[in-house]
Chains A and B, each alone.
Chain A
């Protein structure tokens, strides 16, 4: 929202004492965030009001004129001007030679051979409007020779306040509310508004509120005998500076009041107003708003109706047929208050967020409607001294909003503030903001003005906020929490996640990625896979929540294949499985197809290492019958720990892999991290080491074709001997498997006959199992 400092100054007594450029840093830390402070008008100077006293056509131009202008100096000055509205007697803005426009110096120079000493300029050239149709036209009583900056409020400071930070402050959606804050912050006096009292000697207007829960108040007034619909220049400049277009006095005044008080208003052409009714629309009806768009209505949309016809969408926008025509001399003023939630819903549903709806959504003070009308009439009368009232000030206000009452306990205030403030300080700060306060021994009885009582200030903590910010957040002293020596009870999931991530990044040089919780639609299409699952509402792409973490990372795999021929990535993240959140660790190994065995084995050893090092658990792998079509059916493994399934290793099927990249292999590990976290590591115990030497024996066993190591593993585990310290597979070549036995005894050094005996038994065991051994 844009704020004009000139306007604020008019509401504050002795406002010249305030540093208007720098006050906004304080405003930001006291009230709301200021996004920008900009001086305007400082790019022009040496511009005075001048009267055209002579006007002849330029001999070498079809549109330029040679003017003589009187700018208060002894002799008229010759100026060449191309504007169409030049005429003798017109008072306009004249830039003297050496003056500036938009920061550029104006010099005396010939235009098509005729010397122009300075220039006459348009509103746009002065930076005070976007009108460039002709040069500025001052009223006939404008004093010639006066600097325009003394005549019009051109020098100003325009401040942009972040709308979001005003969400909870309905009172700050107009200049008057901002002025109240500035006055409070700087200890100045806020001036009352000039209003006009309206006599109640005419007839009431016909106004009905059908839904008092949705329309809290509707105030109307008919004003007649309006001859002048021209907006004074200073008001035009104000409107322009704060981002609004000047249209006509009647329309501009309603906007002006909205910008001043925050109260949206509407001026209808009285000739078309019959009787006003506020009520809900019917489903399926349509209505064309002021912007010419036909809107589809529902029974949730609150409407202003005129007679039997829709006349405007309440609190959002008027209709095309309610527009004021230029020939009217009578207007019907509407100043109303609506339910914030209803306005918001309608504005969102219609996709029509207007200045009015933005304000109504914040829960405006209904007591403002009548002040706004009295204020508007005051301003209207300045331009139309002969106006007459065509009706009573008709006010339909079914449920009056009263001031709020809150008890603020001193002990609670002390706890929040971390200090005790004197009654005087508290009283002073609240009163400056418009609260009334009565001090008791243990508490303050605070009366909340209605402009703060609609929703913002409801409980004593709201008052503490007011006191704390006016006291100054920078005046607080950071204080440590009092030490509590109880050991904090820790959930271990975060630590365990970090531990695993750190291990994968350091031992295996893997890269942690972050991804999205939904499948990438484009990648699914590319791979020809359809996924069903929980869906995001209102989205047609990237809208299916993932149920397989590794597979959801395939867009990342795809991206990295463009730069790397092999890489390893991992992530611990959430998937949605059977409508439940589930944490999963995914590790993806991607490499050239020829390295499939290497990375497959690596995947298995990563899993074994992880569980060995972090949980002291051994892992067994069993074959996995995977129902997911995009994984290879023969290479899937289930990861088992303590006879429980902890996860899977899968190889992306060749068909799907080929769609990502040719001659590549992608191995995916998925570990159920919720289960992982719950595994209690096996207690480690010291093992005794024999003082007698051990002996290594290697045996190479030849396996029949079409058998796998699994078979041999079973045979080996069946062979028992108390000499065996350990044995392991140390190498393979074609169908030959070399097994290394470590033999030893805790009671003696092994002799040759022990070894021979072992060897004979082992060879026999192997042969009995129909395997052969290289002796």
Chain B
């Protein structure tokens, strides 16, 4: 009996080895473990055996049948595995990708950071009135500060805004005090184009008004912003500046990342890049926005987003940004 059972397994294995198709395996399966197979016969004969034989062979016969069934199953599985691989799994195509403009990416980072500090993101018009661009910002007609920014005046009496600071007035008018706003947007200066000068570029304006706002609060927000955007320790310096709409006024410079501070055309060989103009809001500007300067103080800042994008991505020629040339733009992906 033991011998027969062993030979059944051996024969099954031998016949399965010669099978290459699923159907052949199934034929072998029915021959060896099917209803009319020898093992089924032996199993059926078990009931006629003596108690002693039953005890002796019962489990052996059952186990043999189970083993034969599992041999067939695993042969089937290995055949399935074999037929599945029918293509060149080493092919490797390039992916297509879209892209966001680098300024959009940087603007998102800056606004995300400011939003975390509770700023509202607002926006103002690109074609602006003299009132919002200059007068309400403490820059009366014939003020030499108007010369600092070469303005595009329009034949309908309006102008293209020279700064996002128009949002200061609009923000105060719309929301009053206390106030925390930021406003990314496109601005315009009548300049000749070269690697460092554009007539169309982006800034982000920020303004905070509350009781007891100090110069130290201004510094905090500026430092947090820059470390968030550049994610490294940057060399920055704060120095006195002059803007008619803030008093005191400051300029924040960062060391030029294009040349590492050694001096290059981008930083006009000075090693520093003017990045942020900021200061405490001038009382006249608060008044123009309908806010009582006796009760409130505040600070405002303007960051060159285009300049920031150039620093972050080490773009040495500003002109590529408005070129629309996909060859440059596609490198920026979406983050």
Contact = CB atoms under 8 A, between A and B. Distances in A.
A502 interface: yes
A31 B241 CA distance: 8
Interface in A283-333: none
Interface string B48-92: 000000000000000000000000000000000000000000000
B283 A556 contact: no
A744 B107 CA distance: 50
A545 B323 CA distance: 18
Contacts of B219: 476-479
Secondary structure class of chain A's binding surface, majority of residues: mixed
Interface string B92-126: 00001111110110001001000101111111011
A491 to B, nearest CB: 5
B44 interface: no
A416 B127 contact: no
Nearest to B334: A505
A559 B238 contact: no
A481 B117 contact: yes
Q: Which of A361, A474, A512, A537 has the most CB of B within 10 A?
A: A512
B200 A417 contact: no
B291 to A, nearest CB: 15
B215 A418 contact: yes
Interface in B178-204: 178, 180, 184, 186, 188, 190, 199-200
Nearest to A477: B216
A418 B217 contact: yes
Interface stretch (B2-10, B12-20, B27-35, B247-255): B247-255
A511 B333 CA distance: 9
Contact of B120 (A344, A465, A490, A567): A490
A478 B142 contact: no
B326 A514 contact: no
A473 B326 contact: no
A516 B200 contact: yes
B233 interface: no
A474 B215 CA distance: 12
Interface residues of B, number: 83
B325 A509 contact: no
A488 B120 contact: yes
A54 B56 CA distance: 141
Contacts of B99: 505, 511-512
Interface in A332-358: 340-341, 344-345, 348
Nearest to B201: A514
A48 to B, nearest CB: 36
A508 interface: yes
Given A514-B321, A517-B126, A489 B142 contact: no
B214 A30 contact: no
A362 interface: yes
Given A416-B214, A517-B186, A569-B326, A508 B242 contact: no
B98 A509 contact: yes
A513 B321 CA distance: 8
Given A28-B237, A491-B122, A344 B101 contact: no
A517 B160 contact: yes
Contacts of B154: 534-537, 545
B326 A560 contact: yes
B216 A348 contact: no
A465 B220 contact: no
A430 to B, nearest CB: 14
A736 interface: no
A211 interface: no
A478 B218 CA distance: 8
Contacts of B97: 509
B285 to A, nearest CB: 11
Contacts, number: 228
A492 to B, nearest CB: 9
B115 A488 contact: yes
Contact of B326 (A468, A501, A564, A581): A564
Given A165-B242, A465-B240, A494-B184, A481 B249 contact: no
B265 interface: no
Given A31-B240, A478-B220, A535-B155, A464 B248 contact: yes
B242 A468 contact: no
B312 to A, nearest CB: 16
A680 interface: no
Contacts of A493: 123
A461 interface: yes
A568 B326 CA distance: 9
Contacts of A344: 142, 144, 147
B327 interface: yes
B45 interface: no
Nearest to A342: B142
B260 interface: no
Interface string B145-183: 101100011111010100000000000000100101000
Contact of B216 (A33, A476, A498, A579): A476
A488 B127 CA distance: 27
Interface residues of A, number: 87
B329 interface: yes
Contacts of A113: none
B334 A473 contact: no
A504 interface: yes
B241 A484 contact: no
A169 B323 CA distance: 39
A574 interface: yes
Contacts of B126: 517, 574, 581
B213 interface: yes
B216 A479 contact: yes
A512 B101 contact: yes
Nearest to A34: B270
B36 interface: no
Contacts of A511: 98-99, 326, 329-330
B221 interface: yes
Contacts of B237: 28-29
A447 to B, nearest CB: 19
A740 interface: no
Contacts of A64: none
A574 B217 contact: no
A241 B195 CA distance: 31
Interface in A510-527: 510-517
B283 A461 contact: yes
A29 B238 contact: yes
Contacts of B297: 415-416
A121 interface: no
A462 B244 CA distance: 11
B208 interface: yes
A574 B96 contact: no
11 contacts: A33-B251, A35-B270, A169-B242, A464-B247, A476-B219, A478-B220, A484-B118, A488-B115, A491-B122, A539-B190, A568-B98
4 tightest CB-CB pairs across the interface, nearest first? A556-B324, A465-B248, A418-B214, A505-B98
Given A476-B216, A514-B321, 17 more contacts: A29-B237, A169-B242, A415-B214, A461-B280, A461-B283, A473-B239, A481-B217, A490-B120, A504-B98, A509-B96, A512-B99, A514-B322, A517-B188, A534-B158, A564-B326, A573-B186, A574-B125
